[in-house]
Amino acid sequence: MIKKTLKINGVERILILDKDETLAQVLRDHLLLTGCKIGCGEGHCGACNVIMNGKVTRSCIYKMSRVPDHAEITTIEGVGTLSDMHPIQVAWMAYGCAQCGFCSPGFIISAKVLLDNNPSPTREEVRDWFNKQRNLCRCTGYKPLIDATMAAAAVMRGEMTKEDLVFKQTGDSIVGTNYIRPSAAQKVTGTWDFGADDALKMPSGTLRLALTQAKVSHANILNIDTAEAESMPGVVRVITAKDIKAAGGTNKINGLVMLPKHNKTDGFERPVLCDEKIFQFGDAIAIVAADTEEHARAAAEAVKVEIEELPAYMNAMDAIAPDAAEIHPGIPNAFFETGTAFRIHSRLRSNLTVHVSLIFILSRTAVMVTLTKTV
């Protein structure tokens, strides 16, 4: 054990902790500063970013033994609050950057360090900075994040106010407007809890869960052996599809059901836990319940799954090829199909009819577009 004296969000903290713990673990587990997220756990996604002594630090891989005594650390909770937001947080809301919100704290931390050191960055500099800090987002497409950073910079330079960024409703409808997502304020201040955050606040003795997941994209399951996993330390139960059915469950989850007249399935073709087939990489096969997350994860890895690997289709067009193997037994690979047509006017003043066909295959979508010139 080691002793550290740190200034966290302006408050001096004296901590006794394991030297091998990461900074993220200390912030989250000991101090409940859950605005610091752990995504990949390997320093590749930026969700865990905090500021340490003025620099962006990937806290999920930063061991406490490396943290200098009296270091000044700022998490998203120290950037701004619900009642007093930083311009970057306001801009994040105004530009729709906080969608699922998991990556928002890490991005805002990175943006703050950038703007503290470069108050007038170019869009290229913002983009390069986020790349350097390894910030990843799977919701926004990145453009809104750059837009928000540029707008926040203008506020910080005194060229506009935070109020100028915020959408002001003038009519009865918000459809088609820049109305701010109701959950955005919590997401940009780090106060919106995700599953791992809720887990830290559960009563003592709450069991932890881990999944045994498919490591291939398509296969028949020949056998699932849970014996070794069930005998491992701390394990209370290993649950498979067989257990769900024994308890009276269907083991089915509602999948993609769009418009009934276009569906070729009832939408319940996907199992909760795979028992006969694997349909995509990462599919859940078993759930382990144990006394700690570490024990649960170790046991999940010990579940033995015997498979017969099948052809894997890495794009939608391969999946709907005439000779493609049927993925969901008894259901066509293109299980939802619709076509629509609309007319556009090109720069060359020729009328084009655009036929768009949406075809859903597994969890992927193919968009087929044909252009037909009309007189």
Q: According to the model, what pLDDT value does residue 256 have? A: 57
Domain boundary among the residues 155, 186, 201 is at: 201
Q: Are the CB atoms for 309 and 218 separated by under 8 Å? A: yes
Q: Looking at the structure, tell me whether residues 257 and 283 fall in a common domain.
A: yes
Please state whether beta strands 235-239 and 208-213 pair in parallel, antiparallel, or not at all (unpaired).
Answer: unpaired
Nearest to 240 by CA among 291, 310, 293, 300: 300
Tens digits of per-residue pLDDT, 323-360?
888 888 777 777 666 555 444 444 444 444 444 444 44
Domain hosting 338: range is: 316-374
Opening angle at CA 91, ends 85 and 97, nearest 5: 115
Q: Looking at the structure, tell me whether residues 243 and 162 fall in a common domain.
A: no
The distance from CA 261 to its chain's CA centroid, rounded to whole angstroms, is 32
Strand order in the sheet with 2-8: 11-17, 2-8, 72-74, 49-52, 55-58
Q: Looking at the structure, tell me whether residues 56 and 154 fall in a common domain.
A: yes
Domain boundary among the residues 201, 222, 252 is at: 201
Q: Looking at the structure, tell me whether residues 287 and 196 fall in a common domain.
A: no
Token pair listed for 351: 């009328």
Burial 169-186 (b: 16+ CB within 10 A, else e): eeeeeeeeeeebeeebbb
Q: According to the model, what pLDDT value does residue 334 have? A: 74
Q: Looking at the structure, tell me whether residues 323 and 295 fall in a common domain.
A: no
Q: What is the DSSP letter of 263?
A: B
CATH number at residue 273: 3.90.1170.50
Phi, psi of 342 (to 5 degrees): -145, 160
- Point out the residues of the chain with pLDDT beneath 50: 341-375
The distance from CA 100 to its chain's CA centroid, rounded to whole angstroms, is 7
Q: According to the model, what pLDDT value does residue 264 have? A: 63
Q: Is 251 left (phi over 0), alpha (psi -120 to 50) or beta?
A: left
Question: Torsion angle of alpha carbons 155, 158, 159, 164, nearest 10°?
Answer: 50
Q: Radius of gyration of the chain from Cα atoms? A: 25
Total structural domains within the chain = 3
Q: According to the model, what pLDDT value does residue 255 have? A: 62
Q: Looking at the structure, tell me whether residues 9 and 83 fall in a common domain.
A: yes
Q: Looking at the structure, tell me whether residues 51 and 196 fall in a common domain.
A: yes
Q: Looking at the structure, tell me whether residues 196 and 213 fall in a common domain.
A: no
Residues in contact with 322: Cβ distance below 8 Å, sequence separation at least 6, in sequence order:
none
Q: According to the model, what pLDDT value does residue 317 have? A: 85
Domain boundary among the residues 290, 309, 328 is at: 309
Nearest to 63 by CA among 103, 94, 18: 18
CATH number at residue 11: 1.10.150.120
Q: Looking at the structure, tell me whether residues 164 and 63 fall in a common domain.
A: yes
Q: According to the model, what pLDDT value does residue 267 have? A: 64
Q: Looking at the structure, tell me whether residues 105 and 252 fall in a common domain.
A: no
Residue 217, number of CB atoms within 10 A of its CB:
18
Q: According to the model, what pLDDT value does residue 110 have? A: 98
